[in-house]
Amino acid sequence: DGGITQSPKYLFRKEGQNVTLSCEQNLNHDAMYWYRQDPGQGLRLIYYSQIVNDFQKGDIAEGYSVSREKKESFPLTVTSAQKNPTAFYLCASSIQGDGANVLTFGAGSRLTVL
Amino acid sequence: QKEVEQNSGPLSVPEGAIASLNCTYSDRVSQSFFWYRQYSGKSPELIMSIYSNGDKEDGRFTAQLNKASQYVSLLIRDSQPSDSATYLCAPWGWNTDKLIFGTGTRLQVFP
């Protein structure tokens, strides 16, 4: 079945550590996105990529980094510069990056800083 | 003014009633509008999209769009407890290449 796989589902991080969240899709979608969701909040865009080897900052990119070396993969690194990283992280993809296409979401990764 | 505004709720309705969820947006060039449903602890899933003024029906769901008023709504008829979730509104316009989500309205359907 086609879909988006995020891992790990739960992750605990000590302060000062970098962590990488994995996102893999087999939908042959061009565009991929990372969103952050805090309790009782909507989705805020961190980074997005419309094509391999290219990506753009979203609204809250500070403290995060991404890469898009393969069409299928869009990993997100939460760096130690992100002061409040505890959140629910959602990866999504769409056929094209023009926003008019439907987003398909992964199951999410929940990051907790100890 | 926020780009997308939704009442956070919770909106409580009895089983079998009509639930009405509202969303206003600030970008006048918005062309497409999406409603996503998100159960607690889960990821969002698309339930409706609407592109033209008027109503669009899909089963128990009806999306209503009024571009002049910059207003889009979602009606859920014959509400069921399984409809209890947060509903996210996301408009999109030609001047952007990403979706901006509202904060969502939490719906509670009680038996």
For residue B63, CA distances in Å to B51, B97, B99 come to: 10, 23, 18
Over chain A (114 residues), what is each successive 10-residue block's mean pLDDT? Answer: 90 91 95 92 91 93 97 96 92 77 92 91
Structure confidence at residue B97 (pLDDT): 67
Q: What mean pLDDT, rounded, does chain B reach?
A: 90
As a whole number, mean pLDDT of residues B50-78 equals: 94
Q: Do B49 and A102 touch (CB under 8 A)?
A: yes
pLDDT for res B98? 74
Considering only CB atoms, which chain B residues are within 8 Å of A105? 43-45
Residues A77 and A84: their CA atoms lie apart, in Å, by 14
24-43 of B, contacting A, C-beta below 8 A: 31-32, 34, 36, 42-43
Nearest CA distance, A17 vs chain B (angstrom) = 25
How many percent of chain B have pLDDT more than 90?
A: 67
* Among the partner residues B36, B88, B98, nearest to A99 by beta-carbon distance: B98
Chain A with chain B: Cβ pairs closer than 8 A: 51
Q: Cβ atoms within 10 A of the Cβ of B37, count?
A: 20
pLDDT confidence bin for B43, thresholds 50/70/90 = very high
Angle CA(A39)–CA(B9)–CA(A108) in degrees, nearest 5? 30
Using the Cβ of A102 and the Cβ atoms of chain B, whether some distance falls under 8 Å is answered with yes
B67-87 tens-digit pLDDT: 888 899 999 999 999 999 999
Peptide bond into B91 cis (omega under 30): no
